[in-house]
Amino acid sequence: MTSFTPYTYFLCPCTDTSTSTRNLGDSPSAESEENSDDERTFDPRAARSNYSLYPLEHLLYCEDCHQIRCPRCVLDEIVTWYCPNCLFEVPSSTVKSEGNRCTRSCFQCPICVAPLSVSSLEAPPEGLGAELASGQNGPFVLNCAYCMWSSKEIEIQFDKPNGIFAQLAKIKNGGEPIITAKDRRKDREERGKRHFSGSSAAEEYQESEAPITLDPNERLDPESQFSNLKAFYQTQMAESSPVSALGFTGDYGYGSPGALSRIMGLYTGGSFADKKSKSKSGTMREARDALEGLQIDPLSSSEAITKLSTEGWESTASCAQRHEQTTHTPFISDLRPIAYLLRTKRSKRCKTCRHILSKPESKVQTTRFRIRLVALNYIPSIIIKPLQPTLLTASTLLTPLKPVQFLLTFKNPLFDAVKVTLATPAKTPGRFPTKVTVLCPQFEVGANTDVWDEALRDNNTKSSLSGEKRRTKAEASEGQHQAEAGKVWERGRNWVSVVVEVVPPSLRIDGSEWLKSEEMKRDGEEVRDGEDVVEIPVFVRVEWEGEAGGEESGLGGGGKDKEVREKRELAYWCVLGLGKVALD
Amino acid sequence: MSSKRASTMPAPPKPPTSLASSLTIAEHASLTGTHLITLGSNTVVHPRAKFSSAHAPITVGSNCIICERSSIGFQSEASPNERQGVVIQNDVVIEVGAVVEAKTVGEGTVIEVQAKIGKGAVLGKHCKIGPQCEIVEGETVPDFTVVYGNGMRRLDNSGVEDLKLKMVARQIEVLKRLIPSNPAKFQ
């Protein structure tokens, strides 16, 4: 906990967090009313701030709106679906019909989520002519090289080494075949026929080849239970509700006026439904057996209880394992291999102007982007360093009430020089205010030109940048550790370092009663989580003269006077996390 | 080799060994200590595998694979009930960088990369100790146990032991061709 890495977070302007950041239940105190004018400081510890602060690397930049865009204010569009295991692209139509899992042979181990591989249960051919033998043959299993789980444990074997997904869909745990939905539908229709036309249909049924007899008490897998239930209630709906005026019953019959009045009747206690429609609608019954989708909860069955008592805790699946499964799996023996979830490549659009901010190459194997407007290329990055290099043995914690100086290095990614203006509150908001002084709140950062440009320019004009002498590393180490107000600490080709002085607060609360602010009294006596971190809100304003229009022509070199230069401005809040304060 | 300066230290005494004739042992394997080191038939010892019999003897069965930088043998004084030292049964695979101080390693067990078997532990047959997993001192691991991840354990009921043994035998066949054997150096 003692180690702390300084961080910089940027506030996305999409949410105006400075409004109504009071906690629920807080009475509007005098202080918050005072703050409610235009010159509000941003409170990095406010409850809502967490949701709009991002590291610079997570942000995008819209060139048309000239604004920072965070993950909350972009629209995602799926470019491709692909399987992370076999890297095959899956067409979105297949995703719609087959679901969002790989339908080839990619599976994860249900025990440890490592990828499963298909292997033959038979030893590979050996001896003379082994090369001529056509590969491995039969029965195949899925096995995990990491935890040695194999689908043999749930008694599932495959005939072919490919198309495992389709094969697995037909086998239950234990090796019995799953009666497919198609077969069930056939059986249902047969039963329906018999029900309506008596014995003649039954005879016909006898004649039809390979009749599947379904056990009314069978244990259904969840998919077929759902399809059974759905089919059952559909027939119930069709029977109970009259055919609508248009002549069709629809999916659930909600569209028909008869059904609508029946539903209204349910809510209004029958007064709405007139006698006529009541007489028309028959009573609906519930599912009675497995054929109609009725299943007694298997956990409450004695079978499960005896299994639990004989095999014990070891046979039950862990929470994490059950979470990965799509169905209810209380025991290890119920677990099934997990087909790989498909992943997506997404392009991102600006919510306000609908321009694309990021678009990956649609091919799965490539990691390149066609368009990628990341904020890192538009906004000066801020790096925090302590000015006095701390000894390795010294604690990394800040001493309360002792001024510390930090070096903020602004690095300009733009091809134009920018003018940066910093603003901080004198005291940070919160219970333990830190005193902040930026020694040089206004400075200019050079353009991100070619590395050689500077070397060439140095010969001609020595001090091109506002007459300020560049502080060399040697000079800095000569003991010139006194930072001067209003002066830049160090300057480079496209970067500038300035000094910020901070007086960390004392985290002592047990002062005398009159010293405590109203807020302190209300919030109690403890230092809450995160309150010992010195976080400084900084308002950064960046001004530069860019080329007019969206078209960029190279590095902005030659025809400067011909092109129309346009003044640009960007302003945003940042939060600098400087360090932790020691408890005294 | 001639350009290298020879060590001025006298070579340490070779430990007594009992090597099977069909053993494959690389020249750069290191056998140290004072107790007997027995290596069974068809076993493959990779270069830079370390056997240390300073405190107790080491017995390795047949058809075993001992990989690079693995270290076998007690690293501290053996207690009276550990006098027979490290006994590794047949068909055991000890992967790269594993440290084995077990009393017994059962038949067909696989000890994965950088796993650690504490002193005096007893591993059952057909176990698998996952990469970087640790078995504490004196622990007894039952047959067919798989130790994986963050010390998770399960019993392997797949029943494909014979197949695994066959795969180990095939691996040994290949390694025998790849690793030049020099048992004379250790005798």
Whether residues A310 and A412 share a domain: the answer is: no
Side-chain-side CA neighbours of A337 within 13 Å: the count stands at 36
Residue A347 carries which side chain, given as an amino acid letter? Answer: S
Mean pLDDT of B180-187: 88
Q: What is the domain extent for residue A235?
A: 195-328
Would A398 be classed as within a structural domain?
yes
Domains by residue range for chain B, with CATH: 17-177 (2.160.10.10)
Distance from CA of B184 to the nearest CA of A (A): 32
Q: Are A399 and A285 in a shared domain?
A: no
Average pLDDT, chain A: 76
Amino acid letter for position A275: K
What distance in Å separates the CA atoms of residue A303 and residue A215, rounded to the nearest whole number? 19
Instruction: For residues A324 and A403, state if they share a domain.
Output: no
* Interatomic CA distance for residues A53 and A48, integer angstroms: 9
Is residue A269 located within the same domain as residue A399? no
Residue A255 has pLDDT above 70, yes or no: no
Q: What ipTM is given for this predicted complex? A: 0.81
Domain boundary among A328, A355, A389: A328
Q: Phi/psi at B110 (nearest 5 deg)? A: -115, 125
Chain CA centroid to CA A58, Å: 12
Residue B94 pLDDT > 50, yes or no? yes
Question: Under an 8 A CB cutoff, do A314 and B166 touch?
Answer: no
Q: Of A328, A355, A386, at which residue does a domain stop?
A: A328
Nearest-CA residue of chain B relative to A313? B154
Which of A116, A144, A148 to mutate to probe the B interface, most B CBs <10 Å? Answer: A148
Say yes or no to pLDDT of A198 above 60: no
Residue A94 within any structural domain of the chain:
no
Same domain? For A316 and A422 the reply is no
Number of domains in chain A: 2
Decide if A81 contacts A344 (C-beta within 8 A).
Answer: yes
Nearest to B166 among A123, A148, A152 (CB): A123
Question: Are A383 and A291 found together in one domain?
Answer: no
Yes or no, beta carbons of A123 and B156 under 8 Å apart: no
CB nearest to A147's CB, from B146, B157, B159: B146
A321 touches chain B (CB under 8 A): no
Q: Please tell me if residue B146 touches chain A, with a CB cutoff of 8 Å.
A: yes
Confidence category of residue A581, pLDDT binned at 50, 70, 90: confident
Q: Is residue A535 part of a domain?
A: yes
* Side chain identity at residue A326, one-letter code: T
In one-letter notation, the amino acid at residue B174 is V
Structural domain contains residue A53: yes
> Residues 101 to 130 of B: which have CB under 8 A from any A CB?
128, 130
Buried b (16+ CB within 10 A) or exposed e, A4-15: bebebbbbbbbe
In whole angstroms, give the CA distance from residue A470 to residue A481: 15
Same domain, A324 and A396: no
The whole-number pLDDT of residue B125 equals: 93
Pick the residue with more confidence: A256 or A419?
A: A419
Nearest one of B34, B42, B44, B90 to B70, comparing CA atoms: B44
Query: Does one domain contain both A323 and A387?
Result: no
Percentage of residues in chain A with pLDDT exceeding 90?
A: 21
Grade residue A333 by pLDDT with cuts at 50, 70 and 90.
Answer: confident
Do A380 and A469 belong to one domain?
yes
A401 belongs to a structural domain: yes
Could you tell me which residues are beta bridge partners of residue A565? Answer: A547
φ/ψ region of A77 (left if φ > 0, alpha if ψ in -120 to 50, else beta) reads beta
Strand partners, A538: A574
A265 inside domain: yes
Q: Which of B130, B148, B158 sits opposite A150 (nearest CB)?
A: B158
Please answer yes or no on whether A314 and B155 come within 8 Å at the CB atom. yes
Q: Which two tokens stand for residue B41?
A: 């038939």
In A, minimum Cα distance to B150 occurs at A112
Across the A:B interface, residue pairs with CB atoms under 8 Å apart total 35
Count of alpha carbons within 13 angstroms of residue A334, beta-carbon side? 22
Strand partners, A561: none
Boundary-marking domain end, from A266, A301, A328: A328
- A527: three-class secondary structure by DSSP: coil
Contact by Cβ (8 Å): A431, A523: yes
Give the helix/strand (H/E) hosting B116: strand B116-117
Residues A519 and A402 in one domain: yes
From A342's Cα to the closest Cα of chain B, the distance in A is 25
Burial classification of residue A387, based on how many CB atoms lie within 10 Å of its CB (0-12 exposed, 13-18 middle, 19 or more buried): middle
Find where tokens 């360090």 sit. Answer: A579
Are A392 and A510 members of one domain?
yes
Helical ranges in A425-516 per DSSP H: 451-460, 473-477
Mean pLDDT of A364-372: 91
Q: What is the pTM of this model?
A: 0.71
A555 domain-assigned: no
Tell me which residue in B149, B152, B158 faces A148 most closely, judged by beta carbons: B158
Candidates A111, A141, A152; nearest CB to B154: A111
Q: Is residue A216 part of a domain?
A: yes
Contact A500, A405 (CB under 8 A): yes
Shared domain for A400 and A536, answered yes or no, is: yes
Q: Across the beta sheet with A53-54, what order do the strands follow?
A: A53-54, A7-11, A565-580, A533-547, A418-423, A442-445
